[in-house]
Chains A and B, each alone.
Chain A
Amino acid sequence: MENNAVKMEGIVKRFPGVLANDHVDFEVRTGEVHALLGENGAGKTTLMSILAGIYRADAGNIYINNRRVHIKSPRDAIKEGVGMIHQNFLLINSHSVAENITLGYDRPRFLLKRKKLEQEIQEIGQKFGLEVDPQAKIWQLSVGEQQRVEILKMLYRGAKILILDEPTAVLTPQEVQELFSTLRRMAQAGHAVVFISHKLEEVMRISDRITVLRKGRKVATLATRDTNPGELARLMVGREVFFDIKKSPPKPGEEVLAIRDLHALSDKGLPALKGVSLSVYSGEILGIAGVAGNGQKELAEVISGLRPAKGGKVLICGKDLTSVSPRRVIEEKVAYIPEDRKGVGTVGNLSVLDNLILKDYRRAPFSSGTFLNLRYIRDHASSLVEKFQIITPTLETSAKLLSGGNLQRLILAREISCSPKLMIAVHPTRGLDVSATESVHRMLLEQRENGAAILLISEDLDELTAISDRLAVIYEGEIMGIVEPKEVTLEEIGLMMAGKKRKMLESSEVTS
């Protein structure tokens, strides 16, 4: 018999209105990297949260090392050797790495022995290739390093079964490489690793076996070497998906957005944009690639008028719109799909109807100066709901009750209905499942056909290379280079994301 580190049997978990896990069986062996694959909402995270003690299953049994266990809290889970690394890091930014790692641990009981603790952390780090300075404060670390702290936290507690929830979403390709080699080392050291993902390419690269979930049910468990991305995609979605997005050849027109030597500060008051220059032409999609926090958010905010520029110019159709009010930018037919759908994109407590007219309510025919023209607004809103397939019980439903995909369709409906000349889309498909992602891509391409200029900011390199006409890579507030996606490899883009300029890349190719 195989040595099962974990065996979950007939797990059922209900949330109000949803059956998140429907009699799921799941096994992980010691010494393997096991991928848990599925679309968003397939129940992957729920299943692992049950194992990690965050949720309790409504039915089903869990065995660890062939012994039945009852896990009621994260604390129980860690006692059984189960540690989960969440998508959103649970770290205390103002505390040191060592303090974060020892938090909640009960040895030593009273006094914190910093020296000894720091030494132990370094030893574990060296063993698994997770080097990080134990004295550094979390806010000083890169996202990749923060993730290492999260992993160290679990290893320090003696976790033998590690669950990583979409760990690569925030990493550069090089950091992904390092993470994968760490996972390999952990598996070789006899740990069991569960890798939650919806990215086929990564799952194929790192895992030994794959379990696919769809709509809360287990579809299959396969050995990685016996399968292929096509089969996995079919299992995940339940139908054939087409990886190639049909796209007409670009026919760029006039310059719509011109950014010249733009400078801006971040929320912390540090320079976030250091002389960015870009042009976006009508009928093209310019993608911005980069690791989160390199100035993408600030760039989008400066263009849309939400953040003042400290220098340089933003020209839209030749008009100087540097540091003007968002309203002025909206009047120039600029559509903005913000990163934060709930906080910036919509007002959660207002109805779907109100959210759909947030940008139009003050102009005819929506209003006549003082009063809203409710009949017109209602017709307009219901036609948008129908056209964009927003699933909502009524127009009066609060926007906060919509699912992520529906909320994004609502925002797109509002933004596209003004027939924009320029569209700024920030992570438009983040957190959406395959079919919602497809529909967002289709809408962006439609706008491109209609002659809009589109600035697409994303962390998903597959998305960027698939739909952008040109790709700019941003690193620490500077553009490292602008390339055509077909001309470069993912590796080259990765190097640029890590701070190598395009020109430096070319010259190093010549010398080598």
Chain B
Amino acid sequence: MNLDIVIATLSATIKAGTPLLLATLGEIMAERAGILNLGLEGMMLVGALSGFIVCFLTSNPWVGLLVALASGAIIALIHAALTVTLRANQVVSGLAVTLFGTGLSGFLGKMVIGVPIPNYFTPIAIPGLVNIPFLGPILFRQDPLVYLSYLLVPLLAFWIYRTRPGLHLRAVGENPAAADALGVNVYGVRYLYTLIGGALAGMAGAYLSLAYTPVWIENMTAGRGWIAIALVIFATWDPFKALLGSYLFGLVDAVQFRLQAVGVAVPSFFLNMTPYLATIIVLIFATTETARRRIGAPAALGLPYEREEKS
């Protein structure tokens, strides 16, 4: 195969993988604190729309990004209030948030459907690095959000494993009672990381509407939030494995797109299905694997915490 096609496909892989990576990193942070956030899809959509509208109004994608981060966090606040303070079922609350985000973005987005934005994130080649043979044009001719995602992976991994706040985060997700007894503010930690997760989901959404395909299309996340939730399991709650998993899915996406473009004699519906099919396969594989080894999942994931008082 032509080397240019390989480079183009792999570059598209990174682009397609980045929203998954951002969302997966956000979900990892929330789940590490013991909060299962199934509202990811809704938060991504709200982030995508709010970022898009603000960018449309200010013609500055960076302002759009900030607003997307904030609106993702605000939607996450609903989830945190319901699950942490009111101890609602996390699955039910997460589904409600997704339905809410989908409906809200669909409704408010009506007015900007098909509207072009004046300015959006475009690839910037990093001088020097881009000249590395083969890898340079794949990794270093991307837009700024991709570069941010490169930085986030080691940063979050360092945070989780090497710092005291990271230790507290892991402790709260594993055994909140133990953390509480030693003076860790369990509720505070859970709120904080649910909000961080929501902000990253908002950023993932903004990536879609401000860089990947800079228009607003209703439901433009197309299930990427759900794929990210599956990727968290695949990644065993580790940022570096999240990077690997996200790019693997990006590759599936990029390849199926290229196959459609060259006109392979398979109906496009089937090719469009491949990322979701891959999700199911990965989940079957990853869950049996983790079930066998019994490692990975934060032990208190999905469980509300209540300080024990004798009744």
Chain A hits for B311, CB < 8 A: 15-16
Chain B hits for A20, CB < 8 A: 310
Kindly specify which of B5-13, B15-23, B169-177 makes contact with the partner chain.
B169-177
Q: Are A112 and B179 in contact, with the CB atoms below 8 A?
A: no
Listed residue (A73, A104, A268) with the most chain B CB atoms within 10 angstroms of its CB: A104
Contact of A376 with B by CB under 8 A: no
Contacting residues of chain B (125-176) with chain A, CB-CB under 8 angstroms: 162-165, 167-168, 170-171, 174-175
Contacting residues of chain B (152-207) with chain A, CB-CB under 8 angstroms: 162-165, 167-168, 170-171, 174-175, 177-179, 181-184
Q: Are A105 and B182 in contact, with the CB atoms below 8 A?
A: yes
Contacting residues of chain A (63-94) with chain B, CB-CB under 8 angstroms: 73-75, 78, 86, 90-94
Digitize B250-279: 1 where CB-to-A-CB distance is under 8 Å, 0 elsewhere. Answer: 000000000000000000000000000000
Digitize B265-299: 1 where CB-to-A-CB distance is under 8 Å, 0 elsewhere. Answer: 00000000000000000000000000010110001
Minimum Cβ distance to chain A for residue B157 (Å): 14
Q: Are B163 and A95 in contact, with the CB atoms below 8 A?
A: no
| The 4 residue pairs across chains A and B that have the minimum distance between CB atoms | A104-B182, A75-B183, A90-B178, A104-B183
Q: Are A111 and B164 in contact, with the CB atoms below 8 A?
A: yes
The complex places the Cα of A94 from the Cα of B171 at a distance, in Å, of 9
The complex places the Cα of A58 from the Cα of B164 at a distance, in Å, of 36
Q: Are B183 and A73 in contact, with the CB atoms below 8 A?
A: yes
Digitize A38-63: 1 where CB-to-B-CB distance is under 8 Å, 0 elsewhere. Answer: 00000000100000001100000000
Chain B hits for A99, CB < 8 A: 167, 171
Chain B hits for A106, CB < 8 A: 164
Chain A hits for B181, CB < 8 A: 54, 74, 86, 90, 104
Closest to B292 in A: A269
Contacts beyond the supplied A103-B167, A112-B162, A112-B167: 5 A-B pairs with Cβ under 8 Å? A75-B183, A90-B175, A90-B181, A95-B167, A104-B168
> Number of residues in B with C-beta < 8 Å to the partner?
24
Known: A75-B183, A108-B164, A268-B294. A103 touches B171 (CB 8 A): yes
Q: Are B310 and A15 in contact, with the CB atoms below 8 A?
A: yes
Digitize B8-42: 1 where CB-to-A-CB distance is under 8 Å, 0 elsewhere. Answer: 00000000000000000000000000000000000
Contact of A110 with B by CB under 8 A: yes
Chain B hits for A95, CB < 8 A: 167, 170-171, 174
Contacting residues of chain A (106-155) with chain B, CB-CB under 8 angstroms: 106, 108-112, 153
Closest to B166 in A: A112
Interface of B, secondary structure class, is helix
The complex places the Cα of A74 from the Cα of B165 at a distance, in Å, of 19
21 contacts between A and B (CB under 8 A): A46-B310, A73-B183, A74-B181, A90-B177, A90-B182, A93-B174, A93-B299, A94-B174, A103-B167, A103-B178, A103-B179, A103-B184, A104-B179, A104-B182, A104-B183, A104-B184, A110-B164, A111-B162, A111-B163, A112-B167, A153-B182
For B168, give its contact among A16, A55, A75, A103 (CB under 8 Å).
A103
Q: Are B174 and A92 in contact, with the CB atoms below 8 A?
A: yes
Chain B hits for A94, CB < 8 A: 174, 295, 299
Chain A hits for B310, CB < 8 A: 15, 20, 46, 55
Q: Are A112 and B183 in contact, with the CB atoms below 8 A?
A: no
Chain A hits for B309, CB < 8 A: 55
Closest to A100 in B: B178
Closest to A46 in B: B310
Contact of A102 with B by CB under 8 A: yes
Q: Are B299 and A112 in contact, with the CB atoms below 8 A?
A: no
Chain A hits for B183, CB < 8 A: 73-75, 78, 104
Q: Are B171 and A110 in contact, with the CB atoms below 8 A?
A: no
Closest to A13 in B: B310
Chain B hits for A102, CB < 8 A: 164, 167
Chain B hits for A105, CB < 8 A: 182
Chain B hits for A110, CB < 8 A: 163-165
The complex places the Cα of A103 from the Cα of B166 at a distance, in Å, of 10
The complex places the Cα of A73 from the Cα of B184 at a distance, in Å, of 11
Closest to A107 in B: B164
Chain B hits for A16, CB < 8 A: 311
Closest to B298 in A: A94
Q: Are A103 and B182 in contact, with the CB atoms below 8 A?
A: yes
The complex places the Cα of A102 from the Cα of B183 at a distance, in Å, of 11
Minimum Cβ distance to chain A for residue B174 (Å): 5
The complex places the Cα of A55 from the Cα of B295 at a distance, in Å, of 35
Chain B hits for A90, CB < 8 A: 175, 177-178, 181-182
Minimum Cβ distance to chain A for residue B29 (Å): 17
Known: A16-B311, A74-B181, A74-B182. A92 touches B164 (CB 8 A): no
Chain B hits for A109, CB < 8 A: 164
For A92, give its contact among B171, B292, B294 (CB under 8 Å).
B171
For B175, give its contact among A54, A75, A92 (CB under 8 Å).
A92
The complex places the Cα of A100 from the Cα of B299 at a distance, in Å, of 15
Chain A hits for B178, CB < 8 A: 90-92, 100, 103
For A112, give its contact among B164, B175, B182 (CB under 8 Å).
B164
Chain A hits for B164, CB < 8 A: 102, 106, 108-112
The complex places the Cα of A86 from the Cα of B180 at a distance, in Å, of 14
The complex places the Cα of A99 from the Cα of B170 at a distance, in Å, of 10
The complex places the Cα of A105 from the Cα of B165 at a distance, in Å, of 11
The complex places the Cα of A100 from the Cα of B162 at a distance, in Å, of 14
Chain B hits for A75, CB < 8 A: 183
Chain B hits for A111, CB < 8 A: 162-164
The complex places the Cα of A46 from the Cα of B310 at a distance, in Å, of 10
The complex places the Cα of A153 from the Cα of B183 at a distance, in Å, of 13
Minimum Cβ distance to chain B for residue A162 (Å): 15
The complex places the Cα of A20 from the Cα of B309 at a distance, in Å, of 13
The complex places the Cα of A269 from the Cα of B292 at a distance, in Å, of 8
The complex places the Cα of A95 from the Cα of B168 at a distance, in Å, of 11
Chain B hits for A104, CB < 8 A: 168, 171, 179, 181-184
Minimum Cβ distance to chain A for residue B210 (Å): 33
Listed residue (B165, B175, B181, B294) with the most chain A CB atoms within 10 angstroms of its CB: B181
The complex places the Cα of A77 from the Cα of B246 at a distance, in Å, of 46
Closest to B307 in A: A54
Closest to B170 in A: A95
Contacting residues of chain B (47-101) with chain A, CB-CB under 8 angstroms: none
The complex places the Cα of A109 from the Cα of B167 at a distance, in Å, of 11
Minimum Cβ distance to chain A for residue B182 (Å): 3
Closest to B309 in A: A55
Minimum Cβ distance to chain A for residue B308 (Å): 8
Minimum Cβ distance to chain B for residue A72 (Å): 12
Chain A hits for B299, CB < 8 A: 93-94
Contacting residues of chain A (1-33) with chain B, CB-CB under 8 angstroms: 15-16, 20
Closest to A15 in B: B310
The complex places the Cα of A93 from the Cα of B179 at a distance, in Å, of 12
The complex places the Cα of A94 from the Cα of B311 at a distance, in Å, of 31
Closest to A114 in B: B162
Minimum Cβ distance to chain B for residue A426 (Å): 24
Closest to A86 in B: B181
Digitize A248-281: 1 where CB-to-B-CB distance is under 8 Å, 0 elsewhere. Answer: 0000000000000000000011000000000000
The complex places the Cα of A92 from the Cα of B299 at a distance, in Å, of 9
Minimum Cβ distance to chain B for residue A20 (Å): 8
Minimum Cβ distance to chain B for residue A363 (Å): 37
The complex places the Cα of A16 from the Cα of B310 at a distance, in Å, of 9
Chain B hits for A73, CB < 8 A: 183
Digitize A186-219: 1 where CB-to-B-CB distance is under 8 Å, 0 elsewhere. Answer: 0000000000000000000000000000000000
The complex places the Cα of A91 from the Cα of B167 at a distance, in Å, of 13
